[in-house]
Chains A and B, each alone.
Chain A
Amino acid sequence: MTDFKQIENNLKKEAKKLLESAEVPVVLAYTRGYDEKHPMPFAAKSVADVEKIVFNEYCNFNMARYIMRFPDAAKIAIAAKAADSRALVVLIQEEKVRREDLVILGIPASGMKDPKTDQLIDSRTTGGLYNPVEYDILLGEEIRGQKTVSPYAVLADYEAMDKEARWAFWKGQLDKCIRCYACRKACPMCYCDPCFIDQNKPRWADKAPQSPGNMMYHLTRFHHLAGRCIDCGECSRACPVGIPLYLFHKKVAKECEEMFGQAAGMKLEDKPVLVDFRVEDSDQILK
């Protein structure tokens, strides 16, 4: 199991060094919330703030989504777990931030917990990676030898369902949605403001939390995340009514990987799949 205390100390040490040398004006990390089991995302801006930094098994937040909050900061340091680092890679690919403007403090972590259920987060429901794909400084020992299960294994029984059962499942789930948009705001890749669903010209769907509006919002969002979703599971954890959105995003990610041969946010030089093409893409993907 990951030694959270040791990582916390390293995180504090590095943050202190960076802030003292003024190499970065802000370090994105975590701090204590209203109690031990509910930490909060935190932007440490001064050496004094460093004391407030904390890291434990409940710090699931994907800090990549706060990068855009500091447009005028020349450089930003960020604590990044495996999925967070993939989110950073996608943001770099989409030129929202430049690699040289980031100091990535990589955190290899396993055994993270969901504060709501206080259970271990089942690695099958996330991207299944333990070590960050991109980092400048690694705050802990790389995790080796974990039994890597394909992140898409959890889809098997949903794919096996026949389409009527699958439709009933998804309609039932999406009808619960109360359109609080927490999934959109929790997602590091969803940085459009206003989002297409907020627009009035055109009105893609009505505002009421009923089937047509919910269906249009979620299906289009699944499409907007195609080839970009890094499988961190934050959307499902943020959802107050517990809709398993990660399942659909995983299925779209699996299809994209099979059709276009590229997983999201793994390599800096990749181009996001839906703003790219290969002449030799086969027409079979349309059948």
Chain B
Amino acid sequence: MLKKISIKKINDLAAALMEKGTLLAPVKEAAGHNFAEIKDPQQLDLDYYNTIVSPKTVFLPQKEDFVRYETAKPVAEAQPVALNIKATFLFGVRPCDAKSFQIMDIHFHASGIIDPYWQQRRDATVIFGSAFDLDIPAQDADFYQTLGIGAADPEGSDVFMVKKGEDLLMKAITPQGEEILARLAMLGEGKPADKKYFEEYIKKGSQHQTRNMCLDPQVIAKKLEDIFHSGEFWQAQSAACLSCGICTFVCPTCYCFDICDDTLFSRGVRRRVWDACMFTDFTLEASGHNPRTHVYQRLRQKVCHKYSFHVRKYGVISCVGCGRCTRYCPVNIDIYSIIQDAMKA
């Protein structure tokens, strides 16, 4: 089913969703937009290109408390932190990010080991995908087309939205999408013209130009294995890298984390926090040995994990070409250029 709503009335939609659960949407901040809980309907706005930090924060928050304890008491008395998850609406997810959830699902439940935190949040969330505006050319950092993702690719979203002049067309893709659209009274019915417009928009989306090269996962995976030991290649690529943690923190498909115990006044909590393979002490072992002390080793690991090891293990590249790592890198290292150079090396 296809529904429609005038963009001017978008705040009513927000209000309605807020009654049904927590609404998360891109909110304006100093340096750009980030997903945050909408507290008042006016906050919802649609003119953003994409968020700084990817929406993975919704399902894998940077800090997740597992269990609370007291040093004086025995371990058995430690209390797990209750995870009371309400129904959530993730509004305004770009196609590349929507696709990234499918890749992340591989690690958090598809491979057999279910991560309860990720899974409960994933199940409780309805994803409102939103197409890129095809009149605006893609930003030069993006390259999602290379990964086979269209600018208006509904895959991964429960409801997919396309702007048509003053209106917003919303089409349900998955049963949850159907179910929620049905419950939203203020939405008008989509006319056949809207349906046709919607279909064409999606087709046009897949032609929308971003940086593009034909990239067969198996080929790039093999190529990266071949040049894995070419120190000279990787040193050249990582010469400028500062080895900070931006590219991994903003990336929708990076999921590495660290477990640590924070104690204060003999009471504490065990929690999960994001970690970054680019940090120098990410691979520091208890013995003091650190297999990856040089920057080029860490950069090589990051690129090869996404474009080689992940393909070998799960058959799909762990990157959706959203371009965030390139856009926010302080020294403008660009993973797309690295892959290009790798293919040529």
Contacts and interface: CB of A to CB of B under 8 A. Distances in A.
Contacts of B260: 206-208
Contact of A41 (B240, B244, B279, B336): B240
Interface stretch (B15-23, B87-95, B99-107, B245-253): B245-253
Interface stretch (B196-204, B302-310, B311-319, B327-335): B327-335
Interface in A173-232: 176, 178-182, 184-186, 193-194, 198, 206-210
Interface string A239-254: 1111100000000000
B53 interface: yes
A14 to B, nearest CB: 20
Interface of B: 29-32, 34, 52-53, 62-63, 140-141, 239-240, 242-246, 249-250, 258, 260, 262, 271, 273, 276, 279-281, 326, 328, 330-334, 336-337
A206 B250 CA distance: 21
Nearest to A173: B30
Contacts of A206: 260, 262
Given A35-B140, A185-B244, A239-B31, A208 B333 contact: no
B334 A182 contact: no
A237 interface: yes
Given A34-B332, A208-B273, A181 B245 contact: yes
Nearest to B31: A242
B337 to A, nearest CB: 5
A40 B244 contact: no
Given A33-B334, A178-B62, A43 B239 contact: yes
7 contacts: A34-B336, A40-B331, A194-B280, A207-B273, A237-B330, A240-B249, A242-B29
A135 interface: no
Contacts of A33: 332, 334, 337
Contact of B239 (A42, A182, A209, A210): A42
A178 B53 contact: yes
B280 A40 contact: no
A111 interface: no
Contact of B63 (A180, A185, A194, A210): A210
A243 B245 CA distance: 16
A130 B122 CA distance: 53
Given A65-B242, A178-B62, A208-B271, 17 more contacts: A34-B336, A41-B240, A42-B239, A42-B240, A182-B244, A182-B245, A194-B280, A194-B281, A198-B280, A198-B281, A207-B273, A238-B242, A238-B244, A240-B52, A240-B53, A241-B52, A242-B29
A185 B243 contact: yes
Given A40-B332, A209-B273, A180 B62 contact: no
Nearest to B293: A193
A94 B337 CA distance: 37
Contacts of B262: 206, 208
* Residue in B31, B34, B250 whose Cβ sees the most chain A Cβ within 10 Å: B31
Contacts of B243: 185
* Residue in A180, A184, A209 whose Cβ sees the most chain B Cβ within 10 Å: A180
Contacts of A241: 29-31, 34, 52
A115 interface: yes
Contact of B337 (A34, A41, A193): A34
Contacts of A240: 31, 52-53, 246, 249-250, 328
Contacts of B244: 180-182, 184-186, 238
B332 A38 contact: yes
A61 interface: yes
Contact of B326 (A34, A61, A181): A34
Contacts of B63: 208-210
Contacts of B337: 33-34
* Residue in A116, A194, A241 whose Cβ sees the most chain B Cβ within 10 Å: A241
A40 B240 contact: yes
B330 A182 contact: yes
The 9 closest A-B pairs by CB, nearest first: A242-B31, A238-B330, A185-B242, A34-B334, A182-B244, A185-B244, A33-B332, A206-B262, A180-B245
B49 to A, nearest CB: 13
A14 B280 CA distance: 35
B285 to A, nearest CB: 13
Contact of B246 (A39, A116, A180, A209): A180
A185 B242 CA distance: 6
Contacts of B140: 34-35
Interface in A71-120: 115-116
A209 B52 CA distance: 16
Contacts of A242: 29-32
B141 A34 contact: yes
A176 B33 CA distance: 12
A193 B326 CA distance: 25
A58 to B, nearest CB: 9
A43 B279 CA distance: 22
A39 B337 CA distance: 13
A244 to B, nearest CB: 8
A203 B138 CA distance: 44
A207 B250 CA distance: 17
Contacts of B271: 208
